[in-house]
Amino acid sequence: MANKYSKVLLVLLAIFTFLAAGCGASKNADSSGSAAKSASSSQAANGGLTIQMLNVGQGDSILVKTAEQTVLIDTSDVDERDKLRKELQKAGVKKIDKVILTHPHADHIGGMAVLFDDNYEIGAIYDNGMPSTSRLYLDYVKRAKEKKIEHKGLKEGDVLDFGGGVKFEVLSPTASLVKKGQAKGYKHDPNNESVVGRLVFGQFTMLFTGDAEKETEASILQTHKEDVKSIVLKAPHHGSHTSSSDAYLKAVQPKVCLISCGQGNDYGHPHKETLDKYKRLGAKILETDKNGTITITTDGKTYDVKGEK
């Protein structure tokens, strides 16, 4: 009889071991940046976080959904408005609590007309706090005022609450740069005036970079070298060689690099030099031109990253 029970126990133990191995396939998104995968969509729906790098051609637009808010970071280009509209409809977006516009180049603010024309309910619009002569910039400022939408500038040290335990810590531009940029006659360098921020949700982190180039990366490292380490890096400037310096990547230590760019774009983005840097890091690389819309789901402990194709 004892032998019979022993066989039953061995069978149960084997089954338990098999199941445990399957459940243990995901890794933790711990604070050391260890590779982690596996938060499901259901977890994201029940108080988690979903981030989508939208497939909107040669431009940037990233949708962030927390348990409490919907945030849109950049709106892609003028000639990509139909793509943005389609992506927002596909994502079921009705209300946008916060719109963050990293800098006033057309491929980042060109889709604002979609939000206004389609009558999205917008809670607030944030940008880098510096004026621009861009027609697109002047238009969204005017229309936001007409619709009585709150319009604010962001600077280093600001922290936005995205709800559901998700924070967005602004690392750039500095207050001194914003002050210079507000002065009449100042010669602007929009890429290097981009809003750069680090999203934090539990043990999950992602660095949002706009089009910040090596000059801004060096400035950020001077004061925030310990604050940029992130599991996911939104590749700055669409994967251009003007960004992603070796020192910056060494500080960020990304496990995943996401690149937003248009198929066959005129700029050659992403540049081979930059892709090679990401590969040397051992980072997983996904591009909207190849993978379509890229979705990250996380419960703050584990995460999953996948493209549409």
Whole-number Å distance between alpha carbons of 202 and 300:
4
Whole-number Å distance between alpha carbons of 152 and 195:
12
* Structure confidence by residue, pLDDT tens digits, 152-165: 999 999 999 999 99
Residues forming beta bridges with residue 179, ordered by sequence position? none
Does the pTM of the predicted model rise above 0.95?
Answer: no
Number of alpha carbons in the 13 Å side-chain half-sphere of residue 164: 23
pLDDT at 29: 52
Sequential DSSP letters for 83-148: HHHHHHHHTT--EEEEEE--S--HHHHTTHHHHHHTT-EEEEEEE-S-----HHHHHHHHHHHHTT
**Whose CA is closest to 103, among 192, 198, 236?**
192
Whole-number Å distance between alpha carbons of 131 and 128:
9
pLDDT in tens, the chain (309 residues): 444 444 434 444 444 443 344 333 333 554 333 333 333 333 344 479 999 999 999 999 999 999 999 999 999 999 999 999 999 999 999 999 999 999 999 999 999 999 999 999 999 999 999 999 999 999 999 999 999 999 999 999 999 999 999 999 999 999 999 999 999 999 999 999 999 999 999 999 999 999 999 999 999 999 999 999 999 999 999 999 999 999 999 999 999 999 999 999 899 999 999 999 999 999 999 999 999 999 999 999 999 999 998
Instruction: With H, G, I as helix, E, B as strand and everything else as coil, classify residue 16.
Output: helix
**How far is CA 127 from its chain centroid?**
15
Question: Can the peptide bond before residue 254 be classed as cis, meaning omega within 30 degrees of 0?
Answer: no
Give residue for tokens 């949708």: 63
Report the chain's C-alpha Rg in angstroms: 21
Domains defined for the chain, CATH in brackets:
27-307 (3.60.15.10)
pLDDT at 47: 74
Q: Amino acid letter at 52? A: Q
How many other CB atoms sit within 10 Å of the CB of residue 268?
A: 13
Assigned token pair, 8: 């039953």
Compute the mean pLDDT over every residue in the chain, rounded to the nearest whole number: 89
Assigned token pair, 52: 């989508």
Whole-number Å distance between alpha carbons of 93 and 118:
11
pLDDT at 21: 40
Our separate counts of H helices and E strands in the chain read 11, 15
- The H or E element spanning position 306 is strand 303-307
Instruction: With H, G, I as helix, E, B as strand and everything else as coil, classify residue 172.
Output: strand
